[in-house]
Amino acid sequence: MKNTSSFLATARLILLLSVSLLGFSAFAQSIQFEYDLKITADPAKRAAYLKQSGDAPSPYEQVFNLVKGSMSVATIVDKVDLRKDQYHINSTGTLGSVLATVLADQKLLRDSVGSVTKDGFLTNTYQEKRGNTELLIARVEKNLINFYKVSSRTPPVGSAPFTGHLMDMLTVGYQFMGRDLPAKSIALPVTDGRSLKTYTLVRGEPWDFPFDGGKVRAIRFYKTTSKDDTASFEVWFSEKEHVPLRSVIGLNAQYGATIQVDLKKIPAI
């Protein structure tokens, strides 16, 4: 009888664990997005700016100097892991074979973790490393975003007061998965690991977007610019899945470059 009770207790425990794991699996999802990154650059324009300003180019900027006109330079793979109330996005940008050889196989590494809410992804920690530059870290700690270099165990190199909904350069693109696209302009607080900026994205025109041998209906959202912030940004979200089909970043005038990122295929969501 004692053995029977022990057996039943063990069976109940196994059953509870199984139900728990089934529930966890029901809310777990991993989606992979693959993009082609193209750069249009004017190296002479950048060189002239550096000469005039006296600034030194960053190591990762070498890629701009190797681009002649417009060319595909890298593949970006984003892995989006979703749980019931958490997300983790890991992104790796790998240079094409020729540039990888010249630039010693430098990569663009980005990582974002945080919570999933009814209002979208809420960033807790964002990390970014461009080639052989220092690792940048932005972390929400109480009512501050603290910025670190190399390690968050060292004192922060800067901070910004913050309350509310924080996004980063990764979550902006996936912010509307499972939610309606905004019907009008929206203001998004975004961190790039160095600072906090507010992007105002204006809802633009719909377009039958040429994609993967056919056409996909998409909605354009674009960032407003000003005299103090000349960098442009636009993203085309698919009307059905609300994922980014194309993102275009026009860097500040002193860089003389535009970055275009195109999704290769819409994954099953």
DSSP the chain: -HHHHHHHHHHHHHHHHHHHHHHHHHT-EEEEEEEEEEEEE-HHHHHHHHHHH-PPPPGGGHHHHH--EEEEEEEEEEEEEE-SSEEEEEEEEEE-HHHHHHTTT-EEEEEEEEEEETTEEEEEEEEEEETTSPPEEEEEETTEEEEEES-TTSPPSEEEE--S--EETTHHHHTTTTSPPPSS-EEEEEE-SS-EEEEEEEEEEEEEEEETTEEEEEEEEEE---SS---EEEEEEETTT--EEEEEEE--TTT-EEEEEEES-PPP-
- Identify which of 115, 128, 239, 113 has the alpha carbon closest to the alpha carbon of residue 176: 239
What's the mean pLDDT in 68-75? 82
CATH number at residue 121: 2.50.20
The mean of the pLDDT values for the chain is: 83
Residue 19 lies in a domain: no
Residues 185 and 161 sit within 8 Å (Cβ to Cβ): no
Average pLDDT over residues 194-218: 91
Domain of 148 in residue numbering reads as 29-263
Q: What is the pLDDT of residues 215-247, one digit of tens each?
A: 999 999 998 877 777 778 899 999 999 999 999
Query: Residue 16: what pLDDT?
Result: 38
Of residues 250 and 266, more confidently modeled: 266
Residue partners of 117: CB distance under 8 A and separation at least 6: 85
**Averaged pLDDT, 49-74:** 70
Do the domain assignments include residue 21?
A: no
The predicted structure's pLDDT at residue 132: 82
| pLDDT at residue number 14 | 39
60 domain residue, yes or no: yes
Residue 225 lies in a domain: yes
Distance from C-alpha of 139 to C-alpha of 148, rounded to nearest angstrom = 8
Residue 35: inside a domain, yes or no? yes
Q: Is residue 97 part of a domain?
A: yes
Q: Is the residue at 34 inside a domain?
A: yes
For residue 15, pLDDT beyond 50 = no
Interval 168-187 mean pLDDT = 92
The predicted structure's pLDDT at residue 119: 85
Q: How confident is the model at residue 112 (pLDDT cuts 50, 70, 90)?
A: very high
* Tally of domains within the chain: 1
Q: Say which residue, 23 or 124, is predicted with more confidence.
A: 124
At 244 the pLDDT is 95
Query: Does residue 4 belong to any structural domain of this protein?
Result: no
41 versus 12: the higher-pLDDT residue is 41
Is the pLDDT at 13 greater than 90? The verdict is no
